[in-house]
Amino acid sequence: MDTSEDYINMCVAAHVLDWQPRVGDFYYEPNGRNSPEYCVSVWLPGDIAAGKTWLPRIDQLQHIVDVDNMHGMVYVVLRIENMPSTSYWLGMTSLEQWWLAYVMMDKYNGAHWDGVCWKSNI
């Protein structure tokens, strides 16, 4: 699970993702009850979602774009492979970052990460 500062920043900026908290979800909370080094915790019963940012796992990101089987995975890989800017995808440092970038591109008007925020192609 990617808990890097880069991934946290990508998730904080991806506020359009709809999070329905479940036990075991990872989230970021500034100055929360968690480690001051990363400020990342796992959702527990009784937690309150306000002020927290979801850090989706790979399986959760794949579910958002309906990639629940090998055929879906092949489609995604072929779609990315045929894009002109493959260096963008190679710049991701974890599979969580890669899948979040794919979700944002697929679901949110071709949005791409510029290192600071999500930019839409509209």
pTM for the structure as a whole: 0.83
Which residue shows structure tokens 């959702």? Answer: 43
pLDDT of residue 78: 76
CA–CA separation, 83 vs 87, rounded Å? 10
Domain boundaries along the sequence of the chain:
5-115
The 10s digit of each residue's pLDDT in 84-100 is 666 777 788 999 999 99
Per-residue pLDDT for 36 more than 50?
A: no
The 10s digit of each residue's pLDDT in 50-65 is 888 999 999 999 999 8
Q: Are 17 and 96 in contact (CB under 8 A)?
A: no
| Residue 13: both structure tokens together | 């900026």
Name the DSSP class of 24: T
Q: Are 89 and 2 in contact (CB under 8 A)?
A: no
Q: What is the mean pLDDT of residues 65-78?
A: 77
Per-residue pLDDT for 114 more than 80?
A: yes
